[in-house]
Amino acid sequence: MRRTLAVFLACFVPAVAAAQTQKTAPLVYAKDITDTSYSYCKFAGMNGDPFQPMLGTGRIETSGSSTTVTAETAGDAPFTSVSAGDFLLITYGGVTYQRIVATWVSATEITVNTAINTTGATWAWQKAACGATAADGWIGATGAWAMTFQVAVTTINATTIGYSVECRVGALAAVAVSASTIATATTAAYTIGAGTGAWDECRLGLRVNTDTGVQSVSASVNRQDLIVGINATPGLTGSSTSLISTVPLLLPNGTVGAPSLSWTLNPTTGLYQISGTVVGVAAGANIFYWDTSGLNTYPTYPIKVGGDTFLYRDGAANTLALRNSTSAQTLNVYGAYTDGSNYQRLSFKANQSIGSIADSMGIIEESAGSGDLATRELIIMSKGLNSTVTIGANSTLYYAFSRSSFAPRGNTDTLTLGGSANTWTHAYLSRSIQGSKSKALTDNGLVAFVKVAVPADDYAGGDVIYTLYCKDAADQVTRTGRVAFSAQAKTTTSACPATLTTYGYNAADISNNAKTFTTVAFTCLGSATAGNNLIQLQVQADCSITTPTSMTIEYRLDMPHPQTVTPQ
């Protein structure tokens, strides 16, 4: 992709004018080359960039023409970070002089390789860095149009001075793109031509062959960057790290298999225009896209956060899922958050241990630290005047809360409030307890209306609260009362008193026409009739209405000791 940049621009940017910018950096300066193996040197500036010298602090001076350079102002310490071998750029009277630090004396004084006469000079510097390892001497080449390495030998006392220009891509091994020798005091240069940007980094290695004395060698690198302009106005500039455009770049629409903007490593991964206002991201297939409605993902691809949290379209339309294979998921909605130790939140948990209950689903109010409050309400509310809040299990709706009641929903006489091992402490009621089971009676007939379980080595007992009702077309009569019963079973044989007596608030018969229940008798039968570990309660009522059209008992049991009750 890097090698085809110029062709790409020529094809898609109209009225293009191209030019180049150049910058030069010293690599070695008047250096005595003594290594017989390649040594790779550069003067590192800001952020290690040899093309950006670091600005010196304070002004510096000499006493006449001298190799001793000092701080101009007492108390300044300009040379704190400078070391012997570092490269100096000293600017005085509009002229910049190059020097090498020969000796570091103190933070306020150094000596340089060649005398200079200056007062109140500004200065910049670069840190000398040399080494012979695979990591030394590299200079950024990404995006460069061309790079020229120049070696100038002013003094030679050796058979030859060898040089090698090496480049690499990423962390791959270095490739020697040029290697030669210099046998006389002369200057040699090697240019890595158009398309240098195909390399990420390049460097220059120097060595001496048959050293017989002192050498004086300087070397530099010149980098050329392409500038592309429209109508003679610069529009695109390149540097060692980036391409900067001041005008729009118009790309072809592209396709999912050949995106408009992609990378050499994988040309099918990138950006393309799906339609007029839709920009897509492809990786060999459609992944997600932007349009005027926002960011959109394709159904088979989730939104992934942190490597283990995924949001999906869950099969059906308008359905969002938080899932990750078999891993239990939690969704936290915060009311306040300072850090992981101070917060208030509502937590939705799936398939987790909640309290002492394993593999549960829960909606939990959680808090910690400054978020902890002694009193906080968790509210579930519907808005409509006649709305209900319903609780169900196993795909069945069971309990409904409305503005006026809490009741079973479509499950009359099948649900229990509390249990034998899960009892309520108190019940506070302001008006009434209502409801009962109903059993049809025959006039003066003995009718079993309820059975009560009495397990082995256990007992039962309590009150039957009842209302009798008898009517025909002309008359009706009712009676209400209470009858006590008790029973026990040592083994499978259950027993109870045969005759039960009504008591308490037994009311007089109420009739519209002087009708009565002439007799009412309650009896109890044990296991011989009711079955093992059961008792059976019966009633026989004689109504004075000659031929009743309807005759019932409505009843409810009040039992201190919990047992199973089965209406008959």
CB atoms inside a 10 Å sphere around CB 425: 4
Domain stop point among 312, 346, 369: 369
463 shares its domain with 563: yes
In a domain, 242, yes or no: no
pLDDT tens for 63-104 read: 999 999 999 999 999 999 999 999 999 999 999 999 999 999
**Mean of the pLDDT values across residues 480-493?**
95
Give the pLDDT of residue 43. 97
pLDDT tens for 302-316 read: 888 888 898 888 888
pLDDT tens for 338-355 read: 999 999 999 999 888 887
Give the pLDDT of residue 189. 87
476 shares its domain with 559: yes
CATH number at 505 reads 2.60.40
| pLDDT over 50 at 10, yes or no | no
Beta strands in 355-388 (DSSP E): 357-368
Sequence-ordered list of residues with C-beta below 8 angstroms from that of 5, at least 6 positions apart, any chain:
197, 226
pLDDT tens for 134-178 read: 999 999 988 788 899 999 999 999 999 999 999 998 888 999 999
Give the pLDDT of residue 54. 95
**Mean of the pLDDT values across residues 104-129?**
96
80 shares its domain with 116: yes
Of the candidates 530, 536, 532, which has an alpha carbon nearest to the alpha carbon of residue 450? 536
Give the pLDDT of residue 379. 82
CATH number at 202 reads 2.60.120
Give the pLDDT of residue 337. 93
316 shares its domain with 453: no
Give the pLDDT of residue 534. 97
Give the pLDDT of residue 179. 93
In a domain, 329, yes or no: no
Percent of the chain with pLDDT over 90: 58
Give the pLDDT of residue 242. 62
User: What's the domain range around 496?
Assistant: 437-567
454 shares its domain with 561: yes
**Mean of the pLDDT values across residues 205-225?**
94
358 shares its domain with 385: no
| pLDDT over 90 at 11, yes or no | no
In a domain, 33, yes or no: no
In a domain, 180, yes or no: yes
| pLDDT over 60 at 232, yes or no | no
Give the pLDDT of residue 183. 94
Domain stop point among 111, 130, 149: 130
| pLDDT over 70 at 233, yes or no | no
CB atoms inside a 10 Å sphere around CB 227: 17
| pLDDT over 50 at 9, yes or no | no
Beta strands in 32-156 (DSSP E): 39-44, 54-55, 60-61, 65-71, 87-92, 95-106, 109-117, 122-131, 139-140, 146-155
304 shares its domain with 444: no
pLDDT tens for 41-67 read: 999 999 999 999 999 999 999 999 999
356 shares its domain with 461: no
394 shares its domain with 281: no
Percent of the chain with pLDDT over 70: 92
In a domain, 306, yes or no: yes
Give the pLDDT of residue 6. 34
**Mean of the pLDDT values across residues 205-221?**
96
Please give the biggest Cα pair distance in the chain: 146
Of the candidates 329, 328, 330, 310, which has an alpha carbon nearest to the alpha carbon of residue 320? 310
pLDDT tens for 255-295 read: 989 998 888 788 889 999 988 888 889 888 888 888 888 88
List 543's β-bridge partners, or say none: 517
In this structure, are strands 201-211 and 216-230 parallel, antiparallel, or unpaired? unpaired
Give the pLDDT of residue 241. 56
Instruction: Identify residue 73 by its one-letter amino acid code.
Output: T
Could you tell me which residue, 32 or 250, shows the higher pLDDT? 32
In a domain, 115, yes or no: yes
141 shares its domain with 169: yes
In this structure, are strands 95-106 and 109-117 parallel, antiparallel, or unpaired? antiparallel
In a domain, 431, yes or no: no
Give the pLDDT of residue 446. 97
In a domain, 236, yes or no: no
CATH number at 85 reads 2.40.30
55 shares its domain with 67: yes
Give the pLDDT of residue 353. 84
Instruction: Identify residue 421 by its one-letter amino acid code.
Output: A
| pLDDT over 80 at 19, yes or no | no
87 shares its domain with 47: yes
**Coil, strand or helix: which one is 219?**
strand
Residue 415: pLDDT band with limits 50, 70, 90: confident
CB atoms inside a 10 Å sphere around CB 443: 16
| pLDDT over 50 at 491, yes or no | yes
Residue 16: pLDDT band with limits 50, 70, 90: very low
Cα 482 to Cα 504: distance, rounded to the nearest angstrom: 6
Give the predicted TM-score (pTM) of the model.
Answer: 0.48
Number of domains in the chain: 6
